[in-house]
Amino acid sequence: MTWLTPDPNEHPAKRFRAMLEAGETILAPGVFNGLTALLARRAGARAIYLSGAAFSASMGLPDVGLFTLDEIQRTARQIVRVTRIPLIVDADTGFGGPLNVMRAVREFEGARSAAIQIEDQEDPKRCGHLDGKRVTSAEAFAEKVAAAASAREHLVVIARTDARATHGFDEAVRRGLAYREAGADVIFPEALETEEEFADYARAVPGPLLANMTEFGKGPMLPAQRLFELGYRIVIFPVSAARVAARATGAFYEELLRDGTQSDWLDRMTTREELYELIGYDEYAELDRSLARRREV
């Protein structure tokens, strides 16, 4: 199987929506390019998450809304092409007003993404676990959610509220209910601070919820199974792989430049054979040979 041939499966958004409607629980590791997405799929992921923070970091940029719709859409398209599993895309504040949100929905659905996540911060947005965030009015963001819902065909709409940090827990609940009413399929309460808050939020806002288990944040690092028990249907680990990759790659570069050889790292590397298997080298080669055989007939 290569992405050069059509995907025989239904649109990943339809599959993702079916998973939610069937009551399945979904653990979605964060990815930031095609290679990390393939690694997540090989490990058994049934859905993956393209984090804005990890994507920004992969570009050498801070997570303050600097990447464009076209940049992240191209990466989302490539990830879905090579993995063909449901991808949740972090679209920050939607790249503008309601009409911009509608365009983002159409672009990501055209890229065969499964879900789009938008948040109620003001621009320029900040990482959800940093101080100094500002949120828009609930009414203004509900308009964006409604716009997203009206533009999608199958795409799952995830509405994130950052109001817990700026206006308190009760306001985050009020906004979750309002965004659900506006058309969001999933509500994402960002930066809840205790296990009790996660439990209370699930009781107060019925329906599918997403929990963010980022490291070094405001809240506790709860196991996915515990969050599923509390009522959360999707659990994401958005920047974990990027942080692991950065630490390991940085250590490699330091030793390489110090010693002038990579020999001590060979047992920590993916071999050529393992890499080729991961990216499907043989499948591409076989496709090329089959095309050659057809030309010879």
Pair 56, 164 in one domain = yes
User: Which pTM was predicted?
Assistant: 0.94
How many C-beta atoms surround the C-beta of residue 44 within 10 A?
8
For residues 215-223, average pLDDT: 91
Pair 259, 157 in one domain = no
* Ramachandran assignment for 231, one of left (phi > 0), alpha (psi -120 to 50 degrees), beta (any other): left
pLDDT surpasses 90 at 128: no
Confidence bin at 147 (pLDDT 50/70/90): very high
In a domain, 4, yes or no: no
- In eight-state DSSP terms, residue 218 is S
Collapsing DSSP states into helix, strand and coil, what is residue 296? helix
Q: Say if residues 185 and 160 touch (Cβ distance below 8 Å).
A: no
Q: Which of 242, 270, 287 is the last residue of a domain?
A: 242
For residues 137-158, average pLDDT: 98
pLDDT surpasses 70 at 297: no
Q: Say if residues 128 and 135 touch (Cβ distance below 8 Å).
A: no
For residues 165-179, average pLDDT: 97
In a domain, 7, yes or no: no
Confidence bin at 141 (pLDDT 50/70/90): very high
In a domain, 5, yes or no: no
In a domain, 222, yes or no: yes
Residue 220: give its domain's CATH number: 3.20.20.60
pLDDT surpasses 70 at 15: yes
Confidence bin at 5 (pLDDT 50/70/90): confident
Confidence bin at 133 (pLDDT 50/70/90): confident
For residues 123-130, average pLDDT: 67
Report pLDDT digits (tens) over 71-98: 999 999 999 999 999 999 999 999 999 9
Residues across the chain: 297
Q: Which residue has the higher pLDDT, 293 or 236?
A: 236
pLDDT of residue 40: 98
pLDDT of residue 2: 79
In a domain, 3, yes or no: no
Helices 169-182/195-204 angle, 10° precision: 40
Pair 189, 268 in one domain = no
Pair 39, 52 in one domain = yes
Question: 200: domain range?
Answer: 12-242
Pair 165, 251 in one domain = no
Q: Which of 226, 242, 258 is the last residue of a domain?
A: 242
pLDDT surpasses 70 at 263: yes
Pair 51, 164 in one domain = yes
The tokens describing 5, both together, are 């041939």
For residues 203-217, average pLDDT: 96
pLDDT of residue 249: 97
Pair 210, 286 in one domain = no
Pair 205, 106 in one domain = yes
In a domain, 1, yes or no: no
In a domain, 128, yes or no: yes
In a domain, 2, yes or no: no
